[in-house]
Amino acid sequence: MTAIAPVITIDGPSGAGKGTLCKAMAEALQWHLLDSGAIYRVLALAALHHHVDVASEDALVPLASHLDVRFVSTNGNLEVILEGEDVSGEIRTQEVANAASQVAAFPRVREALLRRQRAFRELPGLIADGRDMGTVVFPDAPVKIFLDASSEERAHRRMLQLQEKGFSVNFERLLAEIKERDDRDRNRAVAPLVPAADALVLDSTTLSIEQVIEKALHTRARNWLSHKRPNLQYPRCNGMTAGMLNNPIRHGARWTLNINLKIKHD
């Protein structure tokens, strides 16, 4: 009998800390990683590279079905590898964003990418980052986490990110945009942004980096993972001040950490 790879799904709105949590857990457990939010951008870039018409659903479906993409997290940094090439920066360009909007509108392309995302489920396991991972893509995942945070806190985090890049930001406008996107995502007819019925819901508004990871690993994942891997020692954050641990985002700390996970088998 072929073993079925376990999956931990992490869903939630933008700015809640999903990416950081997923990268930390993937590195800690040495599992595969899926960043579903980047999938449409990767497909759009592949179409541009291969001169495939992004306005043609018929041309895009076979490309989506055989999309050669990997996500690799190293020391808290995510690399998006398309056909063996690191395209982490290239998929963030406006040209790719515009093309991604077009390809995402086609139902058969979405269906092909759904199958492609499910193909990421390989041993030893998968950490899946998205908005409908636990409800649509991997409804049978044994561990589901829904990571949330207040719209104000997420706007503040985004503001700091943009300011760090040299952009001038209006907080109230940013907050309004986040609330508008939340409303759209939570109320859309197809795959709305809602926790799975069996998901652990975590609010990261006032939690530190370490607290989010500890809760994710201990509260729900620990019982299941310890069945597979007894004597797990969980990750700790090193070199952070008390203030940064209490609220790392407001102290300008990046959501990166050193993971020390030692596994002993019986």
Annotated binding site: 12-20
Q: What percent of the chain has pLDDT over 90?
A: 52
pTM: 0.78
Token reading at 85 = 């090439």
Token reading at 72 = 């690799």
How many angstroms separate the Cα of 130 from the Cα of each of 19, 134, 138? 9, 9, 11
Which residues have a Cβ under 8 Å from the Cβ of 236 and sit 6 or more positions away?
210, 260
**Gap between the Cα atoms of 162 and 156, Å rounded:** 10
Q: Which CATH number fits domain 7-246: 3.40.50.300, 1.20.120.1200, 3.30.750.24, 2.60.40.3500?
A: 3.40.50.300
Query: Which strand (E) or helix (H) includes residue 59?
Result: helix 57-65
Domain ranges of the chain: 7-246
258 and 238 in contact (C-beta within 8 Å)?
yes
Task: Give the position of tokens 């090193």.
Answer: 238
Flag whether pLDDT at 257 surpasses 60: no
User: How confident is the model over 203-242, as pLDDT tens digits?
Assistant: 999 987 788 888 877 765 555 655 454 333 334 433 333 3
Which residues have a Cβ under 8 Å from the Cβ of 143 and sit 6 or more positions away?
6, 7, 8, 9, 200, 220, 221, 224, 225
Annotated binding site for ATP: 12-20
76 and 257 in contact (C-beta within 8 Å)?
yes
